[in-house]
Amino acid sequence: MRLGTLLAIGMLGVVATESWAGDSIAGKARAFAADVLIVRGTNIRLTGVVAPADAMTCPTDSGEVNCSEVARDELEHLVAGRQVTCALGQKVGHGRYFGVCRLESGQDVAEALLRAGWLRAADDASAAYKAAEMAAAAAHLGLWANAL
């Protein structure tokens, strides 16, 4: 009977390990989309931000570019070769979570992209995220580069 109890406790431990919501995950990251990172096979959608639509174009001096692709490339450049730690929030599908991700320096990945103008703050975003978006808009950065 004691062995059965230990096995049951061990199985519960495996289940708890598999359920990452409220936990964190760390490792090298790559950009899947403008607001989605993949860390150790787990998709993490950055919390509190909205990425440009896939079909959205941005005018530049050299012509129109796909804003979503540029934003994804900016995210990839930000995390390339760096250790990222993501605090996982709500699970939104198999192996997919909302989360807040930070570089080893402590820099919030989403906030960095907001400050660069490549993401927008969600309606329910933190005051810091909204301020970062406003600063990018005022400086005409990223998505705001050609805003009047």
Please give the domain boundaries of the chain with CATH numbers for all domains. Answer: 21-144 (2.40.50.90)
Q: For residue 64, what pLDDT is reported?
A: 83
What is the dihedral sign for C-alpha 25, 27, 32, 34?
Answer: positive
Q: Is residue 148 pLDDT above 60, yes or no?
A: no
User: What is the distance between the terminal CA atoms of the chain, rounded to a whole angstrom?
Assistant: 74
The contacts of residue 109 (CB under 8 Å, 6+ apart) are 37, 46, 75, 78, 79, 84, 101, 102, 103
| Concatenated DSSP letters of 9-50 | HHHHHHHHHH--TTSEEEEEEEEEETTEEEETTEEEEETTEE
Q: What is the pLDDT of residues 88-102, one digit of tens each?
A: 999 988 879 999 999
**pLDDT level of residue 147 (50, 70, 90 thresholds):** low
